[in-house]
Amino acid sequence: MAKKKQNKAKSKVKAAAKKSARKVTKLASAKKGNGNGSHLPKASNKPWGKAGKALEGVKILDFTHVQSGPTCTQLLAWFGADVIKVERPGVGDITRGQLVDVKGADSLYFTMLNHNKRSITVDSKHPQGMRVLEALVKTCDVLVENFAPGALDRMGLTWERINKLNPRMIVASVKGFGPGPYEDCKVYENVAQCAGGAASTTGFREGPPLVTGAQIGDSGTGLHLALGIVSALFQRNRTGRGQKVLCAMQDGVLNLCRVKLRDQQRLKAGPLTEYSQYGENVPFGPTVPRAGNDSGGGQPGWILKCKGWETDPDAYIYFITQAPVWGPICDIIGEPTWKTDPEYATPRARLPKLKAIFRRIEDWTMTKTKFEVMEACNAVDIPVGPILSMKEIAEEPSLRKTGTVVEVDHPTRGKYLTVGNPIKLSDSISDVRRSPLLGEHTDEILKDVLKFSAKDIAEIKNSGALSAPKKEEKAA
Segments of 288-383 assigned E as strands: 301-305, 316-320
Among residue numbers 256 through 315, which ones bind ligand CAO (CB under 6 A)? none
Q: Which of 215, 211, 235, 236 is nearest to 224 (CA)?
A: 215
Query: Which part of the chain contacts ligand CAO (CB under 6 A), choosing from 52-60, 141-149, 225-233, 279-287?
Result: 141-149
> Pattern 164-183, binding to ligand CAO, x per CB under 6 A?
----------xxx-------
Q: CA triplet 84, 175, 195: central angle to 5 degrees?
A: 140
Is residue 441 a contact residue for ligand CAO (CB under 6 A)? no
- The single residue among 62, 93, 141, 218 that binds ligand CAO, judged by CB under 6 A, is 218
Q: For CA atoms 421, 426, 430, 431, give the dihedral sign.
A: positive
Check 93, 218, 251, 294 and give the catalytic one. Answer: 218
Is residue 97 a contact residue for ligand CAO (CB under 6 A)? no
> Pattern 26-65, binding to ligand CAO, x per CB under 6 A?
----------------------------------------
Q: How many residues lie near ligand CAO (CB under 6 A)?
A: 24
The amino acid that residue 260 corresponds to is: K
Segments of 20-133 assigned E as strands: 59-63, 82-87, 117-121
How far, in Å, CA of 15 to CA of 381, rounded?
71
Q: How far is the CB of 67 from ligand CAO (least distance, A)?
A: 4
Among residue numbers 62 through 81, which ones bind ligand CAO (CB under 6 A)? 66-69
Is residue 219 a contact residue for ligand CAO (CB under 6 A)? no
CB 199 within 8 A of CB 210: yes
How far, in Å, CA of 27 to CA of 14, rounded?
20
Query: What is the residue-wise DSSP string for 150-178?
Result: THHHHHT--HHHHHHH-TT-EEEEEESS-
3-state percent helix, strand, coil for the chain, nearest multiple of 5: 45, 10, 45
- The single residue among 59, 134, 159, 188 that binds ligand CAO, judged by CB under 6 A, is 188
How far, in Å, CA of 82 to CA of 125, rounded?
24
Is residue 145 a contact residue for ligand CAO (CB under 6 A)? no
Taking CB atoms, the residue at the shortest distance from ligand CAO is: 148
189 vs 263, beta carbon nearer ligand CAO: 189
Is residue 143 a contact residue for ligand CAO (CB under 6 A)? no
Q: How far is the CB of 179 from ligand CAO (least distance, A)?
A: 14
How far, in Å, CA of 199 to CA of 332, rounded?
36
Query: Which part of the chain contacts ligand CAO (CB under 6 A), choosing from 134-142, 150-158, 305-313, 412-420?
Result: 150-158
Q: How far is the CB of 453 from ligand CAO (least distance, A)?
A: 23
Is residue 216 a contact residue for ligand CAO (CB under 6 A)? no
φ, ψ dihedrals at 434, nearest 5°: -55, 155
Is residue 155 a contact residue for ligand CAO (CB under 6 A)? yes
249 vs 257, beta carbon nearer ligand CAO: 249
- The single residue among 186, 258, 355, 424 that binds ligand CAO, judged by CB under 6 A, is 186
Any idea of the CA torsion for 127, 132, 138, 141, to the nearest 10 degrees? -130
> Pattern 106-135, binding to ligand CAO, x per CB under 6 A?
----------------xxxx----------
- The single residue among 30, 51, 100, 151 that binds ligand CAO, judged by CB under 6 A, is 151
Annotation marks residue 218 as catalytic: yes
187 vs 354, beta carbon nearer ligand CAO: 187
Is residue 250 a contact residue for ligand CAO (CB under 6 A)? no
- Strand arrangement, sheet containing 244-248: 117-121, 82-87, 59-63, 142-145, 170-175, 244-248
| Own/partner pairs, 373-382, CB within 8 angstroms, 24+ separation | 373/306, 373/317, 373/319, 374/317, 376/332, 377/319, 377/332, 380/325, 380/328, 380/331, 380/332, 381/325, 381/328, 382/319, 382/320, 382/322, 382/325, 382/328, 382/329, 382/332
C-alpha to C-alpha distances, 69 to 123, 254, 282, 404, nearest whole angstrom: 19, 18, 42, 20
137 vs 384, beta carbon nearer ligand CAO: 137
62 vs 218, beta carbon nearer ligand CAO: 218
Is residue 245 a contact residue for ligand CAO (CB under 6 A)? no
Is residue 193 a contact residue for ligand CAO (CB under 6 A)? no
Q: How far is the CB of 189 from ligand CAO (least distance, A)?
A: 5
302 has which bridge partners? Answer: 319
Residues contributing to the site for ligand CAO (CB under 6 A):
66-69, 86, 88, 122-125, 146-148, 151, 154-155, 174-176, 186-189, 218
Catalytic positions: 218
